[in-house]
Amino acid sequence: MVVGTVPVGGDAPISVQSMTTTKTADVEGTLAQIYALAAAGCDIVRCTCNEEEAAEGLAHIVSRSPVPIVADIHFQYKLALAAIEAGVHALRLNPGNIRKPEHIKLVASEARDRGLPIRIGVNAGSLDPDIAEQFGGATPEALVASAVRELDYFREVDFEDVKISVKASNVALMIDAYRLLADTVDYPLHLGVTEAGPPPAGLVKSTAGIGTLLAEGIGDTIRFSLTADPVEEARAGRTLLEALGLRERKNVDLIACPSCGRAEVDVIAVATAAQQALESRNIPLQVAVMGCVVNGPGEARDADLGIAAGRGKGHLFVKGHVVRVVPEAEMVQALIDEAEAIVAEGIEARIAKADVNAEAIAAAEREQLIELRGVDVNHSLDKIAKIREIADD
Ligand code: SF4
């Protein structure tokens, strides 16, 4: 299936979706949010079409949007027809909300004639009451049965350009429902944990549900449903896909040590400042912030770029090679400058331009630090010795 210009399903990259929170009738406000979502890595944006004014807003929005627009239809089938007329690239219908077969088939026929895909968006919280009664509640079987019944209506009018979702706010239920759905039908699946709530819990729940299924090879497009700025949803979705290696890196992947008693700098402050600075520049590199030069450069040797704190200094390294030693106050700026230089010139060129003394200075400082603080700054060996004494008593 293709939503506007974005292929979904089969070998297509997993796409990220989000939904605007503005009134769709507010054309400029909605477009501003759509542009922000696209910049954050969102591939497809959904807008509510809950009233005539929203459909009219869509008529202005679709042609100016940088990404395909899906109209989310609630109870009124006529608004689905209106959204099609507005030129949207796809519809989302909730089988629990539009229930009359003749209305469903009319919308599907129109979509078929216009070459428009539809998402069958089943939601545990708004399951068709007769299906809920038949299955004793919103079980995985009930969610899948609702999707299959909608699919049957579509097939009656020769329409199968569909993707399907069976969302629930309960992560275990959502996972079971999608597994069953994947065993039952052969259509692209849209994944999401509905009403996941605000971060961090919403992020954890969404990642648990969506990540589990993606790792099993289930899912073609995703949405994090967070109680937050939708830009956070898009960022989270994109980050998950990049972390799983399912999409190419579009922005920085900042890794940082958790810090410990050996840290020579406030790792949280440096990592946060670096993350913000690099993210706003869309730097597509893996960048490491490490609290000490004793373990940092070694542990982060695979990062494209990193910095580790020494005694009042930062050791800047590219793919494990120390290229410069900078004052601590310049650590973040040095990271930014080097990241931009790598993007412009490439990794090898930057290693070739390394300060010839940097490796030697870094090695000497590292030795001094070990001498000063000892190899066991966290006193782990002392603790182990005491544990052994207790155990041997
Ligand atoms: Fe960070 Fe160094 Fe502690 Fe490792 S040993 S957690 S790099 S401060």
Q: According to the model, what pLDDT value does residue 190 have?
A: 98
Ligand 1 test: best mutation among 257, 301, 376, most atoms within 8 Å of CB? 257
Angstrom CA distances, 248 to 46, 239, 245, 293, stand at 23, 10, 7, 30
Q: According to the model, what pLDDT value does residue 237 have?
A: 97
With a 6 Å cutoff on the Cβ, whether 295 touches ligand 1 is: yes
Buried b (16+ CB within 10 A) or exposed e, 365-393: bbeebeeebeeebeeeeeeeeeeeeeeee
Sign of CA dihedral 287, 290, 293, 298: negative
| Cα–ligand 1 centroid distance for 327 (angstroms) | 19
With a 6 Å cutoff on the Cβ, whether 375 touches ligand 1 is: no
Beta bridge partners of 189: 164
Q: According to the model, what pLDDT value does residue 282 have?
A: 84
Q: Which helix (H) or strand (E) holds 121?
A: strand 118-123
DSSP annotation string for 53-94: HHHHHHHHHHHH-SS-EEEEE-S-HHHHHHHHHHT-SEEEE-
With a 6 Å cutoff on the Cβ, whether 290 touches ligand 1 is: yes
With a 6 Å cutoff on the Cβ, whether 286 touches ligand 1 is: no
The closest residue, in CA terms, to atom 3 on ligand 1 is: 260
With a 6 Å cutoff on the Cβ, whether 263 touches ligand 1 is: yes
Q: According to the model, what pLDDT value does residue 366 have?
A: 85
Residue 263 CA: which ligand 1 atom is closest?
Answer: 8
With a 6 Å cutoff on the Cβ, whether 25 touches ligand 1 is: no
d(CA 104, CA 96): 11
And the tokens for 217? 């090879």
Residue 261 CA: which ligand 1 atom is closest?
Answer: 3
Q: According to the model, what pLDDT value does residue 205 have?
A: 97
With a 6 Å cutoff on the Cβ, whether 289 touches ligand 1 is: no
| Cα–ligand 1 centroid distance for 271 (angstroms) | 13
Residue 257 CA: which ligand 1 atom is closest?
Answer: 1
Beta bridge partners of 313: 327
With a 6 Å cutoff on the Cβ, whether 257 touches ligand 1 is: yes
Ligand 1 test: best mutation among 264, 293, 294, most atoms within 8 Å of CB? 294
Beta bridge partners of 187: none
The closest residue, in CA terms, to atom 7 on ligand 1 is: 296
Point out the residues of the chain with pLDDT beneath 50.
none
The amino acid occupying position 323 is V
Q: According to the model, what pLDDT value does residue 341 have?
A: 97
With a 6 Å cutoff on the Cβ, whether 366 touches ligand 1 is: no
CA-based end-to-end distance of the chain? 70
d(CA 74, CA 57): 16
The closest residue, in CA terms, to atom 2 on ligand 1 is: 292
Ligand 1 test: best mutation among 289, 295, 378, most atoms within 8 Å of CB? 295
Q: According to the model, what pLDDT value does residue 289 have?
A: 95
Q: According to the model, what pLDDT value does residue 310 have?
A: 85
Q: According to the model, what pLDDT value does residue 380 have?
A: 67
